[in-house]
Amino acid sequence: MEPMVNETFVARNPDVRWTLPLAILGLFILRGMATFVTDYGMARAGRSVVRDLRTGLLGKYLRLPSERFDREPVAMLVSRRSSVGGMAAAAVTPVASAYFFKVDLTLMFLAFALVVLWRHRANIERLIDGTEPRIGQRGEA
């Protein structure tokens, strides 16, 4: 630090006077690009996971007999799977937030996860007991 301060402020070297601000500007630009790349990469990975899950679910629906859709609306079939997916997402979000050291968000996500899991406690009990209706079964609402 001392040579940089001496050359910039004491000796008033014009080359160093321009090099220092440009170096700081370059660091900010580099940091911005790195942030963009990491955000884009995380979003792409998330979209890939969702796409794969949707493709798998659609494949399962396509293998069901057509009579299944006559007996139960598609919305009921989809809502069962999205309910489990929502509970899983609510449980994982605080962990992911804590992993990235976002303490304020972690507390908020933890409170949200507890509310979601509390509201779905009957579903969770049926899942543990093995009595939660599957896609091909009719549920008792």
Please list, residue by residue across 34-73, b when 16 or more beta carbons sit within 10 angstroms of its beta carbon and e when fewer do.
eeeeeeeeeeeeeeeeeeeeeeebeeeeeeeeeebeeebe
pLDDT tens-digit series, residues 92-141: 888 887 877 777 778 888 888 899 888 888 877 877 777 766 655 555 54
**Whole-prediction pTM value?**
0.41
Q: Compute the distance between CA of residue 47 and CA of residue 56 in angstroms, rounded to an integer.
A: 14
pLDDT tens-digit series, residues 7-28: 766 677 777 777 778 888 999 9
Per-domain boundaries in the chain: 1-63, 66-141
Q: Compute the distance between CA of residue 116 and CA of residue 88 in angstroms, rounded to an integer.
A: 10
